[in-house]
Amino acid sequence: MKPLPHKTIERLSQYRRALLMIHTTGKTHIFSHEIAKIIHITAVQVRRDIMLIGYTGTLRKGYNVKELIDLIGEIIDSEMIIRVCVIGVGNLGRAIINYFSGKRTKLSIVAVFDSNTEKVGKKYSGVTCYDIEQLNELVKNEDIKIGIITVPADQGQVTADRLVKAGVKGILNYAPKSVSVPKDVHLEEYDMITSLEKVAFFVKTHSD
DSSP character string of 138-194: HHHHTTEEEEEE-S-GGGHHHHHHHHHHHT-SEEEE-SSS-----TTSEEEE--HHH
Find the DSSP H helices in the chain: 6-23, 32-39, 43-52, 65-76, 91-100, 135-141, 156-166, 192-207
Q: What is the pLDDT of residue 83?
A: 94
pLDDT band of residue 100 (cuts 50, 70, 90) is confident
Q: What is the pLDDT of residue 76?
A: 86
Is residue 184's pLDDT more than 80? yes
Is residue 177's pLDDT more than 80? yes
Q: What is the pLDDT of residue 77?
A: 82
The CATH classification of domain 6-75, taken from the options 3.40.50.970, 2.40.50.140, 1.20.210.10, 1.10.10.10: 1.10.10.10
Looking at the chain, the whole-number percentage of residues with pLDDT higher than 90 is 75
Q: What is the pTM of this model?
A: 0.74
Is residue 80's pLDDT more than 90? no
Alpha carbon distance 95, 125 (integer Å): 10
Distances 135 to 66, 90, 154, 157 between C-alpha atoms, Å: 39, 17, 18, 15
Domain map of the chain by residue range? Answer: 6-75, 82-193
Average pLDDT of span 197-207: 81
Q: Bigger pLDDT: 1 or 4?
A: 4
Q: What is the pLDDT of residue 2?
A: 72
Residues of 152-165 as b/e, b for ≥16 C-beta within 10 angstroms? eeebbbebbebbbe
Distances 118 to 107, 122, 162, 176, 205 between C-alpha atoms, Å: 27, 8, 21, 24, 46
Per mean pLDDT, which range of 58-67, 105-114, 162-171, 199-208 is the poorest?
199-208
Q: Which residues pair with 58 in a beta bridge?
A: 62
Alpha carbon distance 196, 144 (integer Å): 31
pLDDT band of residue 106 (cuts 50, 70, 90) is confident
Q: What is the pLDDT of residue 1?
A: 64
The CATH classification of domain 82-193, taken from the options 3.90.180.10, 3.40.50.720, 3.10.20.30, 2.70.240.10: 3.40.50.720
Average pLDDT of span 159-167: 97
pLDDT band of residue 103 (cuts 50, 70, 90) is low
Taking only the tens place, the pLDDT of each residue in 109-161 is 999 999 999 999 999 999 999 999 999 999 999 999 999 999 999 999 999 99
Alpha carbon distance 46, 18 (integer Å): 12
Per mean pLDDT, which range of 26-30, 78-82, 169-173, 184-188 is the poorest?
78-82
Is residue 206's pLDDT more than 80? no
Q: Which residues pair with 188 in a beta bridge?
A: 172
